[in-house]
Amino acid sequence: MSTLPMKSGLLGIVLASLVATGAMSADTTIGVSFDKIEPFRVAQKKAIEDAAKAAGVKVDFANADKDAQRQASQVDTMVSNKDAAIVAIPWDIEAAVNLAVTSIAAGIPFVSMDQAPADLKAVTYHIGGDPCTDGKVAGEYFVKAAAGKPFKLLELQGGLANDNGIKRSKCLNNAFVGHDNIKVVAQVPTDWNPEKALAGTENAMQAHPDLNGIYAPWNDALQGIFPVLKAKNVLLPVGDPKHIIIVSIDGTPLGCKAVKDRLIDLEIATPVPEMAKRAIDAAVKAANKQTISPQTEYLPGIPYGPDNVAEMAPKIWGCQS
């Protein structure tokens, strides 16, 4: 065992980073608790690790795997470990409020990311996407594409009980006010599950074979949509007269590929690296007792389509791979 060289190597890194970051030492650890692990979260995790590296801090990562209880015990552990700050993507938006309160009471800043807790004032800082703007942009696109003609739209819904799901739906529909030519023929709840998106699309197309558009408020829904369109021989590129207009949100590799393949018309990509950077920066700042202003920030998604994907790609995280 060659522990000695390794130890001295580590020591070297520690010393070097101490010099580099000045006030912040490299043994500063920020606890990170994710609600679940899926491709989108994997990208966020990587972005957080990159941002932490840039800020010269370590992250202590935990996955609650869709369990509020588990997330609570993870946060408790981070508090008792005296992590410098906590960055969390809440699973249960109500329970997250309590987690923030207890953590802050123990003197540890609590930053929520992506998913907004029920009470935003409870957290030290929140950085999220802007689901309402994303929904609105999608809605406006459909309005423009319909160009005043009758337009039948299938709306797949993510979660009915979480912020992203609710606002992506509500603000889409708000954009249709005054445009009676747009008819949402079905709103299909899916619990963010691609299999349910598949069955829902299958069933909606059974009832409305003349569907004009589909709203897929998260990229994984595309996995459910494409097999159905293919089976019905309407999986056609943008521009084809029988093409069904699809707008999706997220900006994952799956979404980027669909845009590049000209299968979807518009994709609204969440600025993942930026979100992670702001979360980590705020956490580091708060750990150093600096004030953070504004306390809440929302980052609207970056819209892109088949025609501008080449020039937009550098800004879209899902187009990097």
Partner 1 sequence: MISARVRALENARQQLGLMLIIAIVAIGFTLQTIRFADAENLRNILLQASATTIAAIGMTFVLAARGIDLSVGSIANLTIALAVALAGTPLPAELSTATDALVYPVVIVFGIVLGLVNGALVNLSGVSALIITLGTLTLYRGLALHLTKASLIPLTGAILSFARTEVLGIDLPIWSMGFATVLGWYVLARMPIGRLVLAVGGSPRSATETGIAVWRVRAFVFALSGFCAAVSGLISVGRVGVLNSDLGFGFEFTVITAVALGGTSLFGGRASVVGTVLGAMLLTVIQNGLNLIGADPYIYDVVRGGILLGAVSIDAFVRGQRPMAVQMSD
Contact pick of 145, 185, 235, 238 for partner 1 (by CB under 8 A): 185
CA distances from residue 122 to 77, 94, 109, 223, 270 in whole angstroms, order as listed: 20, 11, 11, 37, 24
Percent composition of the chain: helix, strand, coil (DSSP 3-state, to 5): 45, 20, 35
- As to burial, measured by CB atoms within 10 angstroms (0-12 exposed, 13-18 middle, 19+ buried), residue 5 is exposed
What is the x/- site pattern for partner 1, positions 40-59, by CB under 8 A?
-xx-----------------
Residue numbers 260-279 binding partner 1 by CB under 8 A: none
Contact pick of 17, 102, 203, 296 for partner 1 (by CB under 8 A): 203
Q: Which is nearer to partner 1, 34 or 141 (CB)?
A: 34
Q: Count CA atoms within 13 Å of residue 190 on its CB side.
A: 34
C-beta of 186: minimal distance to partner 1 in Å? 4
The H or E element that residue 189 is part of is strand 182-189
Contact pick of 25, 39, 262, 273 for partner 1 (by CB under 8 A): 39
DSSP letter (8 states) at residue 250: E
Q: Which is nearer to partner 1, 94 or 191 (CB)?
A: 191
**Which among 274, 319, 287, 321 has a CA at the least distance from the CA of 44?**
274
Is 188 a binding residue for partner 1 by CB under 8 A? The answer is yes
C-beta of 115: minimal distance to partner 1 in Å? 16
87 close to 280: Cβ distance less than 8 angstroms: yes
List Cβ<8 Å contacts ≥24 apart for 175-178: 175/135, 175/136, 175/138, 175/139, 175/140, 175/142, 175/143, 176/139, 176/142, 176/143
- Which token pair is 161? 């009980």
C-beta of 223: minimal distance to partner 1 in Å? 5
Is 253 a binding residue for partner 1 by CB under 8 A? The answer is yes
Is 32 a binding residue for partner 1 by CB under 8 A? The answer is no
Is 174 a binding residue for partner 1 by CB under 8 A? The answer is no
Is 204 a binding residue for partner 1 by CB under 8 A? The answer is yes
Other CB atoms closer than 10 Å to residue 15's CB: what's the count?
11
What is the x/- site pattern for partner 1, positions 282-311, by CB under 8 A?
------------------------------
How many chain residues are in contact with partner 1, going by CB under 8 A?
36
Contact pick of 114, 134, 220, 267 for partner 1 (by CB under 8 A): 220
C-beta of 151: minimal distance to partner 1 in Å? 15
- Which token pair is 290? 């600096």
Contact pick of 141, 192, 218, 304 for partner 1 (by CB under 8 A): 192
- Which token pair is 52? 């932490």
Residues contributing to the site for partner 1 (CB under 8 A): 37-39, 41-42, 65-66, 157, 160, 184-189, 191-195, 198-200, 202-204, 206-207, 220, 223-224, 226-227, 252-254
